[in-house]
Chain A
């Protein structure tokens, strides 16, 4: 039984370290903010969670504590990446090599709709 748990811990630590290495490599080599964000999301969601699987298998750790931390990371990682990408778009950081920008078109269309709505419902005009 100990042998199986140690084998699980070894495999989880090795694959988690490989995911972290890929994330850091992407962070230093990819060309713009959004691509880098894509790479660093892997460190939080796969690297740390696989290390925690190893910790659940091979430490005197309650199962509940490990699973609470895994659930927190799995919920918080995508939310953090989404908030950072949204902030980057809103302060106007360009997308390198982008062929089209659908979000800008949609924002323009929403602004036009809002303007028309205000003109049509304005009681004095």
Chain B
């Protein structure tokens, strides 16, 4: 009983997160300025992370959390580097 409810909730959350990624990418496409687009990029990375965790919950397989760990570290470093590049007009 509880497992059925959990499955329904997980699939609904997966659909919601895919819709959120669509909205975030639309705002990256139609953004107002460069920082706005960079925020949308960071938001897309976070939502992709959430989708990986949800797929790991649905498939009952923890390999997706390893992928999510790598994605979180790379997304963090790329966002920091791009913000510094935009502010200082040089990377280092």
Contacts and interface: CB of A to CB of B under 8 A. Distances in A.
Contact of A48 (B24, B50, B86): B50
Nearest to B53: A51
A124 interface: no
A21 B16 contact: yes
Interface stretch (A62-70, A102-110, A115-123): A62-70
Counting contact residues on chain B (CB < 8 A from A), the size range is 35 or more
B50 A33 contact: no
Contacts, number: 151
A73 interface: yes
Interface of A: 2-3, 6-7, 9-10, 13-14, 16-17, 20-21, 23-24, 27-28, 33, 36-37, 40, 43-44, 47-48, 51-52, 54-55, 58-62, 65-66, 68-69, 72-73, 76, 79-80, 83-84, 86-88, 90-91, 93
Interface of A is mostly: helix
Given A47-B50, A51-B13, A84-B42, 8 more contacts: A28-B27, A43-B47, A44-B42, A51-B53, A52-B65, A54-B57, A84-B35, A86-B83
Interface of B: 2-3, 5-6, 9-10, 12-13, 16-17, 20, 23-24, 27, 33-36, 38-40, 42-43, 46-47, 49-50, 53-54, 56-57, 60-62, 65-66, 68-69, 72-73, 76, 79-80, 83-84, 86-88
